[in-house]
Amino acid sequence: MIPAAFEYYRPKDMAGVLSILEEHGDDARVMAGGHSLIPMMKLRMADVPHLIDLQDVGGMSDIAVTADSIRIGAMVTQHDIIDHDGLASAAPILREAALQIADPQVRYMGTVGGNVANGDPGNDMPGLMQCLDAAFTVVGAEGERDIPARDFYEAAYMTAREDEEVLTAVMIPAPQGGYAYEKQKRKIGDYATAAAAVQIVKDGGSCVSASIAMTNLSDTPIYSEDAGAALVGTSVDDAAIKAAIAAMLGDIDPTEDNRGPVAFKKHVAGVILRRAIERAWSRA
Amino acid sequence: MSKKQHYTITVNGKEEEFLAEPRELLIYTLRERLNITGPHIGCETSHCGACTVTIDGKSVKACTMFVAQADGKGITTIEGIGGPDDLHPLQNAFKEHHGLQCGYCTPGMITRATKLLEENPNPTEEEIRFGMAGNICRCTGYQNIVKSIQAAAAEMSAAKEAAE
């Protein structure tokens, strides 16, 4: 498996990255850990004449946790997420999700930035970031801007990031309440047949807010506002969970592939969301 | 066609300089250019872990890294972990506990396990299975691999205590 030839760049700073992007436009791609891009290049499904390796660009490997928010640099790996004590208490859903991504070797290389920027509907972090109402910081020749995760994904591999922009960080408002990231996969390393990210806030025995997003059940992650709304004001009993599942099923649009036919995927989506809601509620 | 570039990587403590195209996968650099054939090519699609090496303290599948990315880095392969005359405790444990049958996955298994035990010197069975999940074996059913790693962990811990 030999990818097509490319020019390789390892700039030392973001200015260097942006100037290469400006020169070569969509013939250039940035690479973080490479564990999505390199397999695609080996299969020759991605053609990258100019490959920009971000490993020497500083300032994107930090995790900063404050009382109100969390900032994760784009080059932070899944392994870093799992290993970070402050993050495990501030946003335990991140660790729970990262542990279900790929395998140990891939988690040493695979980054948060690559996972959210790639636009692959199979990636777990995009749905998770929609659940958490995160924003992505991108930088380009015109400067920086923040894009809400819920507005970022347009179609498979199509995002609101322009070709000449680089995603540098993920900003997450400090999550509240109970959480769960539930994922059904065929084996270690597989993408989800269905996955659900849930955060629920409980007050006096009833749900005061709920956020629900689904992975790999459409050509983008799906933030289901209606599914969350179905839980609010309830005691998250069976009727409320059924209503949330029905709302979620109205928002997803799975397609048949080697993980099963549409009816099966919808069934699994319902099972997974129920488990995620029940676990999040038990922790709320 | 991109031109060959000059690269320097240090493998098992030995500095190697050579010319290669950036797109060359690190596993081919190791095996075919440097004749370091411990890391194997199993699936070549980052699933099986037979090509696992250690780079900058990370277990990495050498089939999913371009040589250009590894330029300037230090790499440890199974050859740098132990040899026939001075087996690493993991190598010895795999031998003693039948942690291998055909042996194809073994270099990757042991290389990965060195890193696992470095991060977690006394892992539970579950932690071993989870920490070794990126390495596939089609012979052993994994049971004896887990036993081997448990035995090596116990021996290494005992040796460390004795040294202190």
List chain B residues with pLDDT less than 50.
none
Question: For all residues of chain A together, what is the average pLDDT?
Answer: 97
Asked if B14 and B52 sit in the same domain, the reply is yes
Q: Which of B2, B60, B112 sits opposite A7 (nearest CB)?
A: B2
B37 domain-assigned:
yes
Domain extent at residue B19: 5-80
Res B2: pLDDT: 67
Domain boundary among B57, B80, B103: B80
B42 domain-assigned:
yes
CB pairs < 8 Å spanning A and B = 84
Taking 90 as the threshold, does the pLDDT of residue A35 lie above it?
yes
Asked if B139 and B112 sit in the same domain, the reply is yes
Domain boundary among B80, B101, B128: B80
Determine the Cα–Cα distance for residues A79 and A244; give it in Å rounded to an integer: 33
Give the model's confidence band at A1: pLDDT under 50 very low, under 70 low, under 90 confident, else very high: confident
Asked if B108 and B151 sit in the same domain, the reply is yes
Does the CB of B58 have a partner CB in chain A at under 8 Å? Answer: yes
For domain A178-283, give the fold: Enolase-like; domain 1 (3.30.390)
CB proximity under 8 Å: A 86-105 to B: 102-105
Q: Closest Cα of chain A to B98: distance in Å? A: 24
Model ipTM value = 0.96
Asked if B75 and B28 sit in the same domain, the reply is yes
A28 CB-near residues (< 8 Å, 6+ apart): A20, A21, A48, A49, A50, A51, A52
B60 domain-assigned:
yes
Q: What percent of chain A has pLDDT over 90?
A: 99
H runs (alpha helix) in chain A: 14-24, 37-42, 78-83, 85-90, 92-98, 104-109, 112-117, 125-131, 149-152, 225-231, 238-251, 262-283
Q: What percent of chain A has pLDDT over 70?
A: 100
Asked if B10 and B70 sit in the same domain, the reply is yes
B73 domain-assigned:
yes
Q: Which CATH class is domain A63-173?
A: alpha beta
For domain A7-53, give the fold: 3.30.43
Res B164: pLDDT: 86
Q: Closest Cα of chain A to B101: distance in Å? A: 23
Give the model's confidence band at A104: pLDDT under 50 very low, under 70 low, under 90 confident, else very high: very high
B164 domain-assigned:
no
Mean pLDDT calculated for residue range A95-116: 98
Does the CB of A106 have a partner CB in chain B at under 8 Å? Answer: yes
Check which CATH number belongs to the domain holding B48 and give it: 3.10.20.30
Taking 60 as the threshold, does the pLDDT of residue A22 lie above it?
yes
- Domain residue extents for chain A: 7-53, 63-173, 178-283
Does the CB of B6 have a partner CB in chain A at under 8 Å? Answer: no
Asked if B9 and B67 sit in the same domain, the reply is yes
Query: pLDDT digits over A245-274, tens only?
Result: 999 999 999 999 999 999 999 999 999 999
Taking 60 as the threshold, does the pLDDT of residue A56 lie above it?
yes
Asked if B71 and B132 sit in the same domain, the reply is no
Hey, are the CB atoms on B59 and A1 less than 8 Å from each other? no
A contacts of B132 (beta carbons < 8 Å): 104
H runs (alpha helix) in B6-103: 26-28, 67-70, 89-96
Res B1: pLDDT: 52
Total tally of structural domains belonging to chain B = 2
CB proximity under 8 Å: B 59-118 to A: 59-61, 63-66, 68-69, 71, 112, 116
CB–CB of A126/A221 below 8 Å? yes
CB proximity under 8 Å: A 159-188 to B: 188
Domain boundary among B80, B97, B124: B80
Determine the Cα–Cα distance for residues B108 and B106; give it in Å rounded to an integer: 5
Give the model's confidence band at A107: pLDDT under 50 very low, under 70 low, under 90 confident, else very high: very high
Q: Closest Cα of chain B to A104: distance in Å? A: 6
B contacts of A8 (beta carbons < 8 Å): 2, 5, 22, 66, 68
Asked if B55 and B98 sit in the same domain, the reply is no
